[in-house]
């Protein structure tokens, strides 16, 4: 009899362990999942790691969940990561944000830098061109070697191209002797400063920050034109985060971003603070992308 009981218990033990394991798996709360975000690689990887590692720590503390930052290699990769749910939050430029939200239903722009409501692009030139700062785009720009930033950049490609087309009535490849895409704003500065390209377009905030750090040789490169303002960078969040992390989680993320006041954190962007944003704020960006053929009208 004792042997029979032992055999039965021996058979039941693996089944009980399986049931307990399954029960444990079901019991894992949604909050145990890491909340993951990324950012467009608008600067070199060292800058990005410094910037967003600190932001992950800040958000973890504010949200009470594990928050991870994952880098991506390109602007399209940032959009793909958001679309494929590898990340639930992203620091996008104006154009990449529009693209991502169209691919993920119910996703929302929830915050933007105070400076992003009226963002500006600079056109910079090597001093050998003899070009000086002007309120108008100079006639002498034609025929120069010109570099944009990344093809998906709002401030380094989309808006500069729009203003160039509007002023000169020509596409960039018709206006310039050579057109390049540097990949990021820091690289644009380096290429123009070295003379590899005579002229380039970039994000004004990156220029101003690098200038303040003493990383720009103004005897070799200077700003010659500042664009009209437009809406740009923003934080965009997936629409399914409340279902995964709990009711009200999206609002908690938004509030954590709005409450970011530590100068050390804000200087990493650089921004003076964040304000609320909506998808509608970026309608002009979509309209511009359609106008120059980067996006299709719907």
Helix (H, G, I), strand (E, B) or coil at 92: strand
Domains observed in the chain? 30-117+231-291 (3.40.190.10), 120-226 (3.40.190.10)
Contacts of 156 (CB under 8 A, 6+ apart): 42, 121, 148, 149, 150, 182, 184, 185, 188, 201, 202, 203
Give which of 180, 185, 182 is closest to 210, Cα–Cα: 185
In the predicted structure, residue 97 carries a pLDDT above the cut 90: yes
The percentage of the chain sitting over the pLDDT mark of 90, rounded to a whole number, equals 77
Verify cis geometry, omega within 30 degrees of 0, for the bond prior to 270: yes
137-150 per-position pLDDT tens digit: 999 999 999 999 99
39-94 pLDDT per residue, tens: 988 766 666 777 788 999 999 999 999 999 999 999 999 999 999 999 999 999 99
Q: Is the pLDDT of residue 165 over 70?
A: yes
Q: What is the pLDDT of residue 28?
A: 42
* Phi and psi, residue 33, nearest 5°: -70, 140
Report DSSP letters for 141-186, one per residue: GTTSEEEES-TT-IIIIIHHHHHHHHHHSS-HHHHSSEEEE-SSHH
Question: Is a pLDDT exceeding 90 seen at residue 111?
Answer: yes
Instruction: Enter the DSSP assignment of 137.
Output: -
Residue 234 has pLDDT above 50, yes or no: yes
Q: So what's the pLDDT on residue 269?
A: 79
Residue 229 has pLDDT above 50, yes or no: yes
Token pair 């960006």 is at which residue?
A: 285
**Single pTM value for the model:** 0.81
């Amino acid at each position: 009899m004792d042997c029979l009981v032992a055999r039965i218990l021996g058979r039941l033990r693996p089944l009980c362990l399986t049931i307990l394991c399954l029960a444990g798996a079901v019991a894992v709360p949604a909050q145990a999942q890491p909340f993951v975000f990324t950012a467009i690689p608008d600067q070199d990887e060292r800058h990005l790691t410094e910037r967003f590692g600190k932001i992950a720590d800040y958000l973890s503390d504010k949200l009470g969940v594990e928050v991870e930052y994952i880098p991506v290699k390109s602007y399209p990769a940032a959009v793909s990561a958001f679309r494929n749910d590898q990340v639930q939050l992203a620091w996008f430029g104006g154009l990449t944000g529009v693209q991502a939200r169209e691919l993920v239903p119910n996703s929302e722009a929830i915050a933007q830098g105070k400076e992003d409501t009226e963002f500006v692009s600079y056109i910079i030139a090597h001093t050998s061109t003899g070009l000086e700062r002007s309120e108008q785009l100079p006639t002498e720009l034609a025929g120069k070697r010109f570099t944009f930033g990344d093809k998906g950049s709002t401030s380094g490609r989309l808006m500069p191209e729009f203003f160039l087309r509007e002023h000169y009535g020509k596409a960039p490849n018709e206006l310039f002797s050579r057109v390049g895409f540097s990949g990021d704003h820091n690289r644009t500065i380096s290429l123009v400063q070295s003379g590899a390209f005579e002229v380039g377009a970039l994000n004004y905030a990156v220029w101003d920050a690098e200038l303040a750090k003493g990383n720009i040789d103004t005897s070799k490169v200077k700003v010659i034109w500042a664009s009209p303002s437009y809406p740009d960078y923003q934080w965009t969040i997936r629409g399914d985060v409340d279902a995964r992390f709990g009711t009200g989680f999206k609002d908690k993320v938004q509030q954590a971003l709005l409450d970011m006041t530590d100068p050390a954190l804000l200087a990493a962007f650089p921004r003076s603070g964040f304000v609320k944003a909506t998808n509608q704020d970026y309608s002009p960006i979509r309209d511009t992308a359609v106008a120059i053929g980067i996006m299709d009208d719907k």
